[in-house]
Amino acid sequence: MYNSLIKHNTRLGDILLADPRALTVMARFGIKMGVGDNTIAEVCDRLHIDTLMLVTLLNTFIHEDYYPDPYLGLISVESVIDYLRKTNAYYLHFMLPTIERHFELLLARSADKAGNLTLMRQYFDSAKRLLTDRIKHDDEVWFPAVLANKGCRIDPDDVEDRVSDLMSMFIIHLKGDYDQQLGYAVVLALAGLRDDLHQNNRIRERILSPLSTANK
């Protein structure tokens, strides 16, 4: 984990080496690997990205105790929404299908006499439905309301808890014969989703939500 506060002159490579999960943030801005020893400001200049916006998002994404309040008025709402749309697309088109693919293989190659893996798969489907409902609400209600300068209340859901609970089912409670390697693959994919949800929830709650409320 990158421990220092990120600034415009921080080398991007240092951040990504210390916390590779931030690569997903880079991807949503179209920043590819091979960043050399460029600073954030240099990369942003080259790709016409708002430097303050990227620094603020990265600090919020990486640091649990970071609150970007002083910079909220300087950040483009459209850019934050564009970032969150790409985040949602990443869940829909990459993370959820990856977990499903691993789960299908695991079910296909495991005896699962007690039916526990099948129950866990159904539980994953319920978490997936909640997440897709959240994304639909973002697209149809929340984002348009923020862009139209209207206030909009966000009802909390427990997607993150469900993903975390499913990991506990695998790691602590799963019994019976199943393919260990494929089990690991499901858990690691779930961990990736849980972390990304957790880190981007901070961006939703600490950046877009205050902007939404301020517009009320």
Our finding on whether 173 is near other proteins (CB under 8 A) is yes
Interface residue with other proteins among 35, 166, 187, 203 (CB under 8 A) is 166
Near other proteins by CB under 8 A: residue from 162, 194, 202, 204: 162
2 binds other proteins (CB under 8 A): no
Q: Minimum CB separation from other proteins for residue 91, in Å?
A: 19
Q: Which stretch binds other proteins (CB under 8 A): 49-57, 59-67, 80-88, 112-120?
A: 112-120
Helices (H), 91-179: 96-108, 116-137, 143-147, 159-168
CB atoms within 10 A of CB 93: 10
Name 11's bridge partners.
Answer: 39
Binding of residue 194 to other proteins (CB under 8 A): no
Indicate whether 169 belongs to the interface with other proteins (CB under 8 A).
yes
By three-state DSSP, how is residue 11 classified? strand
Q: Can you tell me whether residue 45 is helix, strand or coil?
A: helix
Which residue's CB is nearer to other proteins, number 78 or number 158? 158
Contact criterion met (CB below 8 Å) for 169 and 142: no
Beta-ladder partners of 76: none
Tokens of 199: 């880190």
Q: Is 48 in the site for other proteins (CB under 8 A)?
A: no
Instruction: Count the alpha carbons within 13 Å of 136 in the hemisphere toward its beta carbon.
Output: 6
Please report, as residue ranges, which positions from 113 to 132 form the binding site for other proteins (by CB under 8 A).
114, 116, 119-120, 123, 126
CB nearer to other proteins: give 116 or 215: 116
CA dist., res. 200 & res. 73, Å (int): 19
Nearer to other proteins, 135 or 167 (CB): 167
* Window of 21-29, 30-38, 162-170, 189-197 that interacts with other proteins by CB under 8 A: 162-170
- DSSP-assigned letter for residue 37: T
Instruction: Tell me the C-alpha distance between 137 and 145, whole Å.
Output: 11
Q: Which residues bind other proteins (CB under 8 A)?
A: 114, 116, 119-120, 123, 126, 158, 161-162, 164-166, 168-169, 171-173, 175
